[in-house]
Amino acid sequence: MNTDTAKGNWKQIKGEFKEQYGNIVNSDSAKAEGKLDKFIGEIQEKYGKTKEEVREEIKNW
């Protein structure tokens, strides 16, 4: 397992936490940020890319 894959897994966990925190405090921006973090983490875990590479690809979509 490369480090970007492990970081992706951790990013998904942090994203889930942010999303749940957004639900608790009723913050749409926190929920959206959590969903984005989870999405980036899933891509990192699957393809072993850095967070910056994933963000750049998403921006280019």
Residue 50 φ then ψ, to 5°: -80, 165
What pLDDT shows up at residue 1? 56
For the chain, list residues with pLDDT below 50. none
Is-above-0.85 flag for pTM? Answer: no
What pLDDT shows up at residue 41? 87
Contact 42, 15 (CB under 8 A): no
Four-residue CA torsion sign, 27, 28, 33, 37: positive
Give the C-alpha separation, 48 to 43, whole Å: 8
Placement of tokens 């983490």 in the chain = 41
What pLDDT shows up at residue 3? 80
